[in-house]
Amino acid sequence: MHRASFVRIGIFDSGVGGLTVLAAIRARLPGADLLYLGDTARVPYGGRGAKTVKQYALECAQWLVDQGCDHLVIACNTASAYGAEAVRTACSPLPVTGVVLAGAASAAAAAHSKGPILVLATRGTVSSQAYLRALNETLPGRQIRQRACPLFVPLVEEGWPPGVVLDGVIDHYLSDLLQPTPAALILGCTHYPVLKDHLAARLPEGLAIIDSSEAVAQSLYRMYPDARSGAGRTRLCFTDDPEASRAAIQTIYPAGLHGADQIQLA
């Protein structure tokens, strides 16, 4: 039977965290073809310089363009912070959606009180000040408080269970950020949505938690109504052996273990 493909969306990340973005898009656009590229041979991007991250982002984007993608999603906050504009320029006229702008826009819409906006992210994303710039455009004068949370990624990838260790790490990062009461909290790393329920349990009731994966998916849902039904294909590719990331993939997107490919960027 002929299967109509309404759009082919290319998603790239420095590793496996962007699989949360893939899963969110797939849930909303079952008819879209999704191609995921995880640059696991060079992960993490967070400790690298801006010029290097920009070059890596351009290489990932070009590979996805060469595969025939119609829309690119930068599912890495650090790559989105340092490389989004370069990717948009290089890949024009293809649309490019980055997690930083999508997350900031969602936070601005959800911030109904006058409290500060909290941003939890990697060191690289915090250092880039990308969320600060984006939020200052939509919420001028609002206090923005950022916190690098380097232990969250290994806890997610190791599948660390709820308990005293995870609670202690969350409290360590957040205990001094909750007064005055925040208006919203942005999960500024695509690994962090895995911890969303654990975070919510230790945050003030009713605090808006902004998942940039969901923000990106909602944006694409509005753009591609014809892909809201159907049976699109999903392909996962990595620049290192997928078996090396098996545990992390199993935690974040178990369906991705079947048929993942290793590719080489030119």
Q: Residue 184 and residue 265: Cα distance in Å, rounded?
A: 38
Closest CA to 181 of 120, 106, 121, 117: 117
76 catalytic per annotation: yes
Contact 90, 64 (CB under 8 A): no
Q: Find the catalytic residue in 69, 91, 149, 189.
A: 189
Strands of 184-188's sheet in order across: 144-148, 117-121, 184-188, 208-211
Q: Residue 47 and residue 44: Cα distance in Å, rounded?
A: 7
Q: Find the catalytic residue in 76, 91, 149, 237.
A: 76
Please give the structure tokens belonging to residue 203.
């945050």
Residue type, 124: G
Catalytic residues: 76, 189
